[in-house]
Amino acid sequence: MKRLSLVLLLVLASGIALLAQRTIRGTITDDQGEPLIGATVLAKGTSVGSVSDIDGSYALSVPEGVTTLVFSYTGFSTQEVQLGASDVVDVSMSPDIAQLSEVVVTGYSETQRKKLVASVSTIDNKALENVPLPDVNQLIQGRAPGVFSTAASGQPGAAQNVRVRGTGSITAGRGPLYVIDGVIVQSGDFSQQATSNDILSNINPNDIDNVSILKDAAATALYGSRGSNGVILITTKRGRAGKSVISAKMQYGITQPNIGNFDLMNGQEIWDYERQVLANSGRTPEQIDAARPASLLDNDFDWVDAAFRQGQTRNLELQASGGNDKTRFFLSGGYFTQDGILIDSDFSRLSLRSNIDHTASDKLDFSLNFNTSYTENLNAVAGNRFASPLLGAFVNTPLQPAYNPATGQLYTGLEDAWTIFSGDNFLYSSPLNPVVNENLRIIAKVAANYNILKNLRFSQTANIDYVDITENVFQDPTTGDGSNTNGSITDSYTGTNTLTTQSMLKYYNSFGADHNFDAFAVFEYQKFDDRRFTANGVGLASGKLKTLNSTATPQGVTGTRTEFAFVSLLGQANYNFREKYFLTASVRNDGSSRFGANNRYATFYSIGASWALSEEAFLDNINLINNLRLRASYGTSGNAEIGNFPSQELYGFGNSYDDQPGSSPTQIANPDLTWEVSKNVNVGLDFAVLENRLSGSIEWYQRRGEDLLLNVPVSSTSGFQTALRNIGKIENKGFEVNLSATIFRSSNAKGFNWNIDANFSANRNKILELPGGEDILNGRQIWRVGEPIRAFNMQVWAGVDPANGKPLWETAEGTTSTYSQAVRKIVGNAEPDFLAGLNNTFSFAGFSLSAFFNTVQGHEIYNGSRPFVESDGQRYGQFNNIVEAGQNYWKAPGDIALRPQPKVGGNSGSNSASSRYLEDGSYIRLRNVTLGYTLPKSVLDKMRLSNVLFYVQGQNLLTITDYSGFDPEAEEDGDEFFRYPVGKSFTFGLDISF
């Protein structure tokens, strides 16, 4: 009952029934006198409103007691007009330069920028539209302060990792919560076979109206136990009353491979180098000639060139939107294809969307969002395997030709003449062994809204998020992978279904002219269900047979099912005094099946306030300042990404012996196990000065994660290696700056304009508490109190011993050539010191040019590819080498060399993990340049078109970095191993609106 008291309060607090009404009419125009179509007019303090029609005219039945009308339109300052005796109210609206009345979506509701007490970054569709990348997560990189997006792979459609304000957890989920049109949806990678696939790549970025990123607790507390890593709100486009607009988008582009500073040896170079390696190992000239005869140079082969290609991107899309004051619609259909720069990898998406709103009466309105999309992803033999083109390009020595010189046929990799240990020639096998991921996603939402009273509105929504993934891994019997099994087929199916219902009551009222109040309460239920199975069969009579039915021997079938449920009650109250002092309080109670029986319900809250200093009399006279607002908030949120059944002591049943089912302990009991808590402080200052020519905000935050869930290492004599505990604390603190400047503003629309948008953020991450204060090793990194979560902890490279050419590592006292005696130290951090984005936009006479840079600075990357391709002979005969490996190595006593003497089998383990391969990962990247031209109105009118835009666009044209690997945009953990690089792309596009 306690949980419901807020609802009860709201219901009881609602006002008195409606009485008599009067109808107000008028027209709404812009400052030039042009009619504004689809502007909103609202009777202040009620939900009664209307929109302007094609002539800009409106009519509104105003309830008794209403004294003010509120007019709003995107891009224009909201205007309030006192009602007088006249029933005609015409309004001329002025453009909103400081964007104070910009509508900011905050999840369960929306508000104006000026009323916001929370920290919310917004990215509008201008930054998202027409960029030739499939996943919205890729588009937000560099666009908002404190938001960092990385990916393990540059393959189109690969899963992206987004971090909002640093890494807030060690073992539980670290990615933000995704909300589309108000409903929490699934995100991440649900594939079983493909290396990675982001289900968010099913959303067409061109359907998105805006993206809001909730960062502080004042914003995320409403998402309770799921909000601590930030929330990304995606709002899709909706129709607007007025003339129907039909537009077509066409885009074509090419992508060129770009492997950065990574430069491999050619045939001659590797031949020379390896002969030297043999000589260094004491081989006789005869042995060297036998192992590396000159004849090898007759047929050397450039594997990198063969593995990469120029890819194409195509996009074709139709959008239609429009409607009247009763019904509004937005429809779109798009087909997007993108080739990967690696052979046999591509992505395609067919997406359909319809968003429909219908106002049935003053009291009742409905909406429907329906999105269906289908993606198909071809993976180049599932990523980082030796048989994949990605590794093959670097594994395969140029001395091994792809084609048999005698026959001209491709080697399969099974021949004796094929010397590469993977036993596979990717040029032969990749086309024959596709890994295909097909992904159908349907997100459908129906909402009904009823205005119970003039200021009390009830909404009921139901949402289904359905993801259906089928994957197929095929291994042709004639290829290296397929030969063991005489051909193999693996089919996987993943079906996830998330059902969400929301019941919401919203109340708003003004008490006199000074006191404005609104509040809402929501009951939400969400259930997630995930079913999977995989079947494998081997033995194919021919590689042309493609289904499980044609396999001779069934090999195994696995199936799993998992579920979770959340039952939540939440509410928010907002109060402001004369729109000068703002106060917001939020609370959410979550019950979840994931939490232990002893801790099933969690409550999170926040409180925030803001003060519009610029509205104060004492600042009225200072013309310099157009807007000045101070914001502060404190609150809690949680992280429930802890697995679905983490608290139970369990036996699992996945194993078997001699065809009999087996079971084994899989989990130690921990009934106290529960969510992680994040406590957040945020202080912000919003400003606009110099006639709004310079505006922006500065924020400082501290985000402290407590009760962190940790897999605490235990003695494996227990039969377990780790046990899960709510133990540990972590802190992220930092500041963010967002600036928008009008450098040059022309008085007429066709003149020269220059705008700069910039953002900067710096985050410092620190572990505050670990179990027993003891370090936890995390591969090449360490979790240590006082250090950031991504601290590299490894042997410290001390160069080469001039006396004998052996490697040296640091010990406590000096140096050693014995790797096992070297000590590990913290030598770097994969978390960047700061992130920044800079976008310049110029426009003149129909032309527009934008250049968007982003930079990530001050972090290290472990270049895990180098130990393979710069191994000082340890990978002799197996791998190609980078050109540098053959330079500056030790040759004779006294040499001060960069690299040890290369020998067969390596030189004293010199390529073992050490700071030798740790590099500065900082980069500056020209992420996007777009040059566009919009046809003049006079021409458009003749062509009876409403808009025509031509543009050319370049992605990643320039990268400045010292990093020696393919691509400095490494994975979040800073550990790179032959990452699929992103390419440079050039795109041409045409948008036509009818």
Partner 1 sequence: MKFAKYIFFVIALIAISCEDKLELQPAQSLATEESLSDVKGMLTALYGAYDMLQDLNIYGRDYIVMAELEADLVYLSLSNSNRYVQNYTFLWTPDNANITAVWNDYYTVILRCNNIINNIDKIEGDAAEKNQIKGEALAIRALSHFDLVRVFAKQYTQSNPTADLGVPVVLESKIDEPTRNTIAEVYNQITSDLEATKGLLTDKGKFRFGPDAANALLSRVYLYKGDYANAEKFASDVINTNKYAIADDIIAAFKAPGSSEEIFTLKFTASETRGSDNLGRFFNPSGYGDARVATDCISLYEPSDKRLGFIYKHTNNQMYTNKFFAQDGVDGLFSPKILRISEMYLTRAEARAKQNKFADAIADLNAIRAKRSASALAGIADADVFQTVLDERRRELAFEGHTKFDLWRNGLDMVRNQCNTGIELDAPCNLAASSNLRVYPIPTREIDVNQNMVQNSGY
**Interaction between residue 875 and partner 1 (CB under 8 A):** yes
- How many C-alpha atoms does 485 have within 13 Å on its Cβ side? 20
Q: Which stretch binds partner 1 (CB under 8 A): 59-67, 549-557, 853-861, 935-943?
A: 549-557
Q: Which stretch binds partner 1 (CB under 8 A): 164-172, 199-207, 402-410, 903-911?
A: 903-911
Q: Site residues for partner 1, window 311-350 (CB under 8 A)?
A: none
Nearest to 825 by CA among 799, 789, 863, 796: 796
**Interaction between residue 904 and partner 1 (CB under 8 A):** yes
For 351, the token pair is: 């997406």
Cβ(569)–Cβ(521) under 8 Å? yes
Q: Site residues for partner 1, window 504-533 (CB under 8 A)?
A: 505, 523, 525, 527
Residue (150 or 483) nearer to partner 1, CB: 483
State the DSSP code for 216: S
**Interaction between residue 360 and partner 1 (CB under 8 A):** no
> For the window 712-751, what string marks contact with partner 1 as x by the rule CB under 8 A?
-xxxxxxxxx-x----------------------------
**Interaction between residue 563 and partner 1 (CB under 8 A):** yes
Helix (H, G, I), strand (E, B) or coil at 691: coil
Answer for which of 448, 565, 685, 694 binds partner 1 (CB under 8 A) is 565
State the DSSP code for 916: G
**Interaction between residue 405 and partner 1 (CB under 8 A):** no
Closest distance of CB 228 from partner 1, Å: 20
**Interaction between residue 804 and partner 1 (CB under 8 A):** no
Closest distance of CB 535 from partner 1, Å: 12
**Interaction between residue 384 and partner 1 (CB under 8 A):** no
Nearest to 187 by CA among 150, 137, 139, 143: 137
**Interaction between residue 778 and partner 1 (CB under 8 A):** no
CA distance 493 to 386: 26
Long-range contacts of residues 822-825, Cβ cutoff 8 Å, at least 24 apart? 822/795, 822/796, 822/914, 823/795, 823/796, 824/782, 824/793, 824/794, 824/795, 825/793, 825/794, 825/795, 825/796
Q: Which residue has the tokens 């309460």?
A: 521
Q: Which stretch binds partner 1 (CB under 8 A): 125-133, 194-202, 415-423, 574-582?
A: 415-423
CA distance 238 to 369: 9
Cβ(605)–Cβ(585) under 8 Å? yes
**Interaction between residue 564 and partner 1 (CB under 8 A):** yes
For 257, the token pair is: 């491979």
Q: Which stretch binds partner 1 (CB under 8 A): 554-562, 580-588, 889-897, 951-959?
A: 554-562
Nearest to 83 by CA among 31, 43, 45: 43
Residue (120 or 489) nearer to partner 1, CB: 489
Nearest to 954 by CA among 34, 365, 189, 313: 313
Answer for which of 37, 100, 131, 569 binds partner 1 (CB under 8 A) is 569
**Interaction between residue 541 and partner 1 (CB under 8 A):** no
State the DSSP code for 967: -
Residue (164 or 822) nearer to partner 1, CB: 822
Q: Site residues for partner 1, window 257-316 (CB under 8 A)?
A: 281, 283, 287, 291
- For residue 503, count other CB atoms closer than 10 A to its CB: 15
**Interaction between residue 650 and partner 1 (CB under 8 A):** yes
HEC string of 107-141? CCCEEEHHHCCCCEEEEEHHHHCCCCCCCHHHHCC
Q: Site residues for partner 1, window 812-851 (CB under 8 A)?
A: 819-820
Residue (653 or 988) nearer to partner 1, CB: 653
Helix (H, G, I), strand (E, B) or coil at 9: helix
**Interaction between residue 877 and partner 1 (CB under 8 A):** yes
Closest distance of CB 946 from partner 1, Å: 44
Cβ(386)–Cβ(424) under 8 Å? yes
* Helix and strand numbers, DSSP H then E, in the chain: 13, 52
Q: Site residues for partner 1, window 428-457 (CB under 8 A)?
A: 450, 452, 456
**Interaction between residue 458 and partner 1 (CB under 8 A):** yes
Residue (346 or 590) nearer to partner 1, CB: 590
Q: Site residues for partner 1, window 683-712 (CB under 8 A)?
A: none
Q: Site residues for partner 1, window 1-20 (CB under 8 A)?
A: 3-4, 7-8, 11, 14
**Interaction between residue 391 and partner 1 (CB under 8 A):** no
**Interaction between residue 404 and partner 1 (CB under 8 A):** no
**Interaction between residue 657 and partner 1 (CB under 8 A):** yes
Residue (13 or 690) nearer to partner 1, CB: 13
Residue (361 or 715) nearer to partner 1, CB: 715
**Interaction between residue 943 and partner 1 (CB under 8 A):** no
CA distance 797 to 284: 32
- How many C-alpha atoms does 927 have within 13 Å on its Cβ side? 25
State the DSSP code for 880: -
